[in-house]
Amino acid sequence: MKYNTIGGFRVSHGVKVLNNFRILLLHLDMQIRKLQANRQATCEGSVFRFCFPVTVIVAVTDHVHILKPIAMRQLLVNIDHVATLRNARGEKVPDPVEAARICEMAGAAGIVFHLREDRRHIRDEDVYALKKVVKGLFDFEMAATDEMIRICLDVHADVVTLVPESREELTTEGGLNMRKVEKDYRERAIPPFKEAGIEISLFVDPEPADLDICAGLGVEAVELHTGSYANAETPEVRRKELLRLRNAAEHAHRIGLKVNAGHGLNFGNIQLFLDEVPHLTDLSIGHALIADAVFNGLENTIRRMADIIAGRSTPAS
Ligand code: PXP
């Protein structure tokens, strides 16, 4: 699909762009930027919403065109390990809700949490408390069990990120086995989210065949698993993994999927990743940020990473 670019929008090639239409788009672009600056989740009386991807429907003469704004790279902070630290002593601190507030104040575009079956870090009551304070994107990471689907619908997350989960793992170990889950997702897991208007992102390895299955399921986004890149032990392996990610991002974008990414990203490997992989939208980062915050303070850490991701600074500056 080819596009013209007007303001922050992509206009499908072939749409006749009248002058008034161009002005309208530039106006909408400005409004969206204001919404972002104010961290407002909705825009009264408008046809767009803050959570990406924003879909804008504009009537031009008697036609209706659907336009997609260009993806903006932004940081979502995974706060699981604030809860890990709290649970280590069975106390109330550090509070993941307070962490979420600071992260957003420091420039995070949203908060991610993984409610695990064993509740080893985030607990049910955290989910509901977070919902009350998170102003940006509220991204509920979970395994697609009936129990989690029920909680996610009840709290009405903005985004659900579906991941594989096993009790023994220390952290999520790989992307979804798309061939294995495809039928179950199509018939059971995905329809309730679609009905509720919750954006779906599937955590996958950077493999074109998996991405094709995701597109076939009609989900909005994929989160590319960056663990193999982050954990590469030699420069050769790192380059190979980067190339895989780059190809996957291009493929996902081509077939209409929003490209998120995460796992193992840190101040040491983020810049190369950003330089090499196109079309990125939401980057989900947890452990390295909470670890860095122990020494530098959460606000400083988050501001630094949010600026790098948005292209306002580099790790070296
Ligand atoms: N994305 C997904 C799907 C994850 O499971 C995790 C780990 O919870 C992350 C991103 C964040 O990974 P990390 O804590 O290594 O930054």
Task: Say which residue, 17 or 216, is predicted with more confidence.
Answer: 216
CATH of 74-310, one of 3.40.430.10, 3.20.20.70, 3.40.50.20, 2.60.40.10: 3.20.20.70
Per-residue pLDDT at 290: 98
Q: Which atom of ligand 1 is nearest to the CA of 114?
A: 8
Residue with more model confidence, 167 or 104: 104
Would you state the structure tokens that stand for residue 267, as one six-digit string? 């101040």
Q: Which atom of ligand 1 has the smallest separation from the CA of 264?
A: 15
Name the active-site residue from 81, 104, 121, 141: 141
Q: Average pLDDT for residues 19-32, to the nearest whole number?
A: 67
Q: What is the residue-averaged pLDDT of the chain?
A: 86
Mark whether 141 is an active-site residue: yes
Mutate to test the pocket of ligand 1, among 142, 224, 263, 266 (most ligand atoms within 8 A of CB): 263
pLDDT in tens, 108-165: 999 999 999 999 999 999 999 999 999 999 999 999 999 999 999 999 999 999 999 9
Does residue 85 carry a pLDDT above 90?
Answer: yes
Tell me: the pLDDT tens digits for 247-291? 999 999 888 899 999 999 999 999 999 999 998 999 999 999 999
The span from the CA of 130 to the CA of 116, in Å, is 16
For the whole prediction, is pTM greater than 0.95?
no
Q: Of residues 81, 114, 251, 279, which has the active-site annotation? A: 114
Greater pLDDT, 302 or 310: 302
Q: What are the extents of the domains in the chain? A: 3-69, 74-310
**Tens digit of each residue's pLDDT (9 = 90 or more) over 45-77:** 333 343 444 444 444 443 444 455 555 789 999
The 3-state secondary structure of 185-222, one letter per residue:
HHHHHHHHHHHHCCEEEEEECCCHHHHHHHHHCCCCEE
